Amino acid sequence: MQESILQIENLHVQTKTPHGTTSLIQDVSFEVGRGQIVGLIGESGCGKTVTSMSILHMLDRKTTDVTGSITLQGRELIGMSERAMRSIRGKDISYIMQNPMNSFTPVWTIGHQLIETIRRHTTVSKRQAKAKAMDALAQMNLPQPDKLLNKYPFELSGGMLQRVMIAMAACMHPPLLIADEPTTALDVHTQKLVLEHLNQIRHEYGTAILLITHDLGVIAEMADQVVVMRQGEMVEKAEVLELFENPKHDYTKKLLAARPSIPAVCPI
C-alpha cells in the first residue's frame, strides 16, 4: 500500500432538528492513498456528499455533530479551528462540485478567481500568479489561456468551466482532490475529456482523488478502490475489479444491475 493521504475512521455525522437528532452517517471508514482514485457510490441521499462535506468542515457547526477521525497526511481534521481549515481548503484539499456554473462567482473574471486562489496560499506577486494560472490552464489543454483569464463565467460553456475548475483545483498540486459528481452536469463528450484531465492530474502530481458519483461508467473507467454507501452506512469496500466481478453485498448487486447496459455487440 502506498503512502496514505486521507484516512477516515468511524465517521459519524448527526444533525440536530427540532424533533431530535437524526443520524446522517454511521461508522464510515476508508482511506485514500497517494495517486489513488477511490470511488464513492450510492443513490441520491445516501450520504456521499455529507461525507465529503465533513472532510472539508463545510457542514453547519451549530446543527451538525461530526465524530470519529479524519486524518489528512497524519493531521487530524476533526476539531481543527476554522482558521487552520481555511488554509487547508484549496491548498491541501481541492473540491470540484457538480455544477460548474455555481462554483464560480459570476461577477468576477476567471482570471481574478484563479489568481486569488493562488495568492491566498502562496507568497507570489500578482504577475507570477498570473503566469502560474496561465500555466495551469495550458496544462488542461484549454485554448488561449491569456484570453480565457479575462472572461466571465457566463461566457464559457459548462464543460469548459468544469475544465477551468479542474485547472484551478490542480494548480496548487493538492495531495487530495474531492470531485463530487464532476461530470453529471456535462454531456458525454465533455465528460470523457474531464475524466481524462482528472486522471492526468493524478499521474502528474500523485494527487489522491475521492471521486463521488452515481455513474457506474465513471467508476468503471477511473476508480482503483470503491466504497459503496447506502442510507449513511458503508455497505461494501473493494477493489474495482473485485466489485464488478463478484459483488458481496446485495445492495451492490442491485446497483450493478440497476443501470441497463448495452449488450456486447459494441465493437469498441
Partner 1 sequence: MRKKGADQVLNGVNLIIEEGTCVGLLGQSGAGKSTLGRIILGLEKPKAGQVLFEGQDIYCADQRTRKHYRRHVQAVFQDSYSAVNPRWTVEQILSEPLENYETMSRKERKIVLIHWLERVGLSEKDLSKYPHQFSGGQLQRINIARALLLQPKLVVLDESVSSLDMVTQGVILDLLVELKKELGVAYLFITHDMTAAYHLSDQLAILDQGELVAQFRSKDDFFSSEEIAVQKMRDAMLADHPLSRTIGRPVR
110 is written with which cell numbers? Answer: 476567471
Please list the residues that pair with 23 across neighbouring strands.
14
What DSSP assignment string belongs to 56-97?
Answer: TT-S-TTTEEEEEEEEETTEE-TT--HHHHHHHBTTTEEEE-
66 is written with which cell numbers? Answer: 461530526
Distance, in Å, from the CA atom of 239 to the CA atom of 36, rounded to the nearest integer, reads 11
**Choice from 114, 134, 172, 223 touching partner 1 (CB under 8 A):** 223
91 CB contacts (<8 Å, ≥6 apart)? 120, 121, 172, 174
228 is a site residue for partner 1 (CB under 8 A): no
**Choice from 76, 187, 204, 250 touching partner 1 (CB under 8 A):** 187
Distance, in Å, from the CA atom of 68 to the CA atom of 11, rounded to the nearest integer, reads 4
Q: Read off φ and ψ for residue 235, nearest 5 degrees.
A: -100, -25
14 is written with which cell numbers? Answer: 448527526
Burial 214-248 (b: 16+ CB within 10 A, else e): bebebbebbbbbbbbbbebbbbbbbebeebeeebe
Region near partner 1 per CB under 8 A, out of 24-32, 52-60, 67-75, 234-242: 234-242
Asked whether 28 and 67 are in contact (CB, 8 A), the reply is no
189 is a site residue for partner 1 (CB under 8 A): yes
- Subset of 37-96 contacting partner 1 (CB under 8 A): 37, 43-45
**Choice from 68, 71, 116, 158 touching partner 1 (CB under 8 A):** 158
- Least distance (Å) between residue 195 CB and partner 1: 5
**Choice from 89, 192, 248, 249 touching partner 1 (CB under 8 A):** 192
**Choice from 29, 215, 233, 248 touching partner 1 (CB under 8 A):** 215
197 is written with which cell numbers? Answer: 484531465
235 is a site residue for partner 1 (CB under 8 A): no
Nearest CB to partner 1, comparing residues 9 and 155: 155
- Least distance (Å) between residue 234 CB and partner 1: 17
Nearest CB to partner 1, comparing residues 133 and 208: 208
- Least distance (Å) between residue 129 CB and partner 1: 31
DSSP summary character for residue 108: S
**Choice from 65, 217, 231, 248 touching partner 1 (CB under 8 A):** 217
Nearest CB to partner 1, comparing residues 77 and 255: 255
Binding mask 102-141 for partner 1 (x = CB under 8 A): ----------------------------------------
- Point out which residues bind partner 1 (CB under 8 A): 37, 43-45, 157-159, 187-192, 195-196, 199, 214-224, 239-241, 244, 254-255, 258-262, 265-268
